[in-house]
Chain A
Amino acid sequence: MVEESLLAVLINGVFVKNFLLIQFLGLCSFVGVTKDLKSATGMSGAVIFVMTMAAVASFAIYTFILVPLKLEFLTLICFIVVIASLVQLVEFVLRKHVTPLYRSLGIFLPLITTNCAVLGVVMLNVMNEYPFIYSVVFAIAAGLGYMIAMLMMASIRERAEYVNVPGAIQGLPHAFLVATMLSMAFVNYFKVIPL
């Protein structure tokens, strides 16, 4: 069914098809939450967590409910509801049982519902017809790739605070110029890793 190996899915997800820098999924948080390293770490942690959970939940719902009932046309509506309720659920559980983690991730959780990276992972899982293990590995890989890009971007932007840039380039244009450089580095993984 799937000819790639698990390792290929993992490396592809983290580097070759990096979600932020190559596939442009989740850019709002990429420019919005990377002003300092601490919030970038929190956001990436929350995204990895929710992505993996969403991949498991959406796989179960797609395989055991939507396909047997021939309701594939409802995939999108179901997945968005699943992600939204999952985020709520995770928030409740964390607040009750893992308070320190909730304090560091809490404010980022609501942002994730409308993060296209999470919906992107579950839709790509369906489009690529990945079996269960592949879906989960792909979600983790995508999350790790997201984290790497977020942390690099945040570290660079933290230092760039002290750089004197021309007025018109301050803020977002500068962030996108940094992203250009990072993206150039990642594009070359196409050539380095022959998968």
Chain B
Amino acid sequence: MSKIVDEYIRGITTDNPVFGLVLGLCPLLAVTTSVENGIGMAAGAAFVLICSNMIVSALRKQIPAAVRLPIFIIIIATFVTIVDMSMEAFTPDMYTQLGVFIPLIVVNCIIIGRAEAYANKNNVFYSLIDALGSATGFLLVLVLMGGIRELLGTGAIAPFGHTLITVPINPATFMIMPPGAFLTIAILMAIVNYRKAKKLARGD
């Protein structure tokens, strides 16, 4: 039981796709102009990650090692096509917002990274847990970045039409423009680095 919990938590903390492994930066910076877009992107990526991790893991003994990467990519591309068409049909607004970044989930390094590093070596159940962990880690970072940028850039966080927080500030449009994304990730990464250095200094 504890191994299951450990594998799940690992995806959020030490192996966090963004802060631990520095993967999947393009969608992270591009779609986090609001919490809503962040959740949409995370949901799409999570579906692809979970499905492809399980399929890769189930087929791991049949896939010849020499051509495993092309096979992984085709498995991933299949699920991305499913996400692409479903989002176009059911959530057309979000589909236009996320634009080219939906098809680009296929080259998201998080997904191929987990397939290569984990699903290729472990059984279906643990691959599912691993995918859930990484997906949660990615979701948290996307929501955090989207939250910071939306709050400072528009003065309120309002995902899916429900206004959650408003602050009486002069909205800094800068934050929802491209440079704001670079600035936010720079500061977040600096904070993570600082915490890591402190932990090392304390010796644990």
Interfacial residues, chain A to chain B (CB-CB below 8 A): 21-28, 31, 73-74, 76-77, 80-81, 84, 114-116, 119-120, 123-124, 127, 167-174, 176-177, 179-181, 183-184, 186-187
Kindly state the separation between the CA atoms of A137 and B159 in the bound complex, as whole angstroms: 38
Main secondary structure of the interface of A (DSSP, over half): helix
- Point out residues on B near A: beta carbons under 8 Å: 22-23, 25-27, 29-30, 70, 73-74, 77-78, 80-81, 84-85, 99-100, 103-104, 106-109, 112, 177-179, 181-183, 185-187, 189-191, 193-194, 197
Q: How many whole Å from A179's CB to the nearest CB in chain B?
A: 4
Q: How far apart sit A123 and B81, CA to CA, in the bound complex (Å)?
A: 13
CB-CB under 8 A from A24, the residues of chain B are 25-27, 29-30, 178, 181
Nearest neighbor of B74 in chain A, beta-carbon distance: A77
Identify B104's interface contact among A73, A123, A169, CB under 8 A: A123
Contact B78 A77 (CB under 8 A): yes
- CB distance A23 to B30 under 8 Å? yes
Whether B74 and A172, one on each chain, are in contact in the complex, defined by CB atoms closer than 8 angstroms, is no
Contact partners of B74 in chain A: CB under 8 A: 77, 80-81
Which A-B residue pairs are the 6 nearest by beta carbons? A176-B186, A168-B194, A24-B30, A173-B190, A180-B182, A183-B179
When C-beta atoms are compared, the residue in chain A nearest to B177 turns out to be A187
Taking a contact as CB atoms closer than 8 A, the residue among B29, B112, B183, B187 that contacts A114 in the complex is B112
Q: Which residues of B contact A172 (CB under 8 A)?
A: 22, 189
A-B pairs with beta carbons under 8 A, tally: 112
B166 to chain A, nearest CB (A): 26
Which residues from chain A contact B177 at a C-beta distance below 8 Å? 187
By beta carbon, the residue of chain A nearest B189 is: A173
Contact of A27 among B26, B106, B194 (CB under 8 A): B26
Residues of A contacting B109 in the complex (Cβ-Cβ under 8 angstroms): 28, 114
Q: Could you tell me the distance between the alpha carbons of A127 and B103 in the complex, rounded to whole angstroms? A: 11
Report the bound CA distance from A84 to B72 in whole Å: 13
Q: A77-B81, A116-B104, A173-B186 are in contact. Are A21 and B26 (CB under 8 A)?
A: no
Cβ–Cβ contact B106 & A169, under 8 A: no
Asked whether, in the complex, the Cβ of B78 is within 8 Å of the Cβ of A21, the reply is no
- Whether the pair A176, B182 counts as a contact (CB closer than 8 A) is yes
Interface centre among B84, B108, B189 (most CB of A within 10 A): B189
User: How many angstroms from the CA of A150 to the CA of B18 in the assembled complex?
Assistant: 22
A22 touches B178 (CB 8 A): yes
- Contact B100 A124, beta carbon cutoff 8 Å: yes
Pull 25 A–B residue pairs with CB atoms less than 8 Å apart, ordered by A: A23-B30, A24-B26, A24-B29, A25-B26, A28-B26, A74-B81, A76-B80, A76-B103, A77-B81, A80-B73, A81-B74, A116-B104, A116-B107, A119-B104, A119-B106, A119-B107, A167-B193, A168-B197, A173-B187, A176-B186, A176-B189, A179-B182, A181-B179, A183-B178, A186-B178
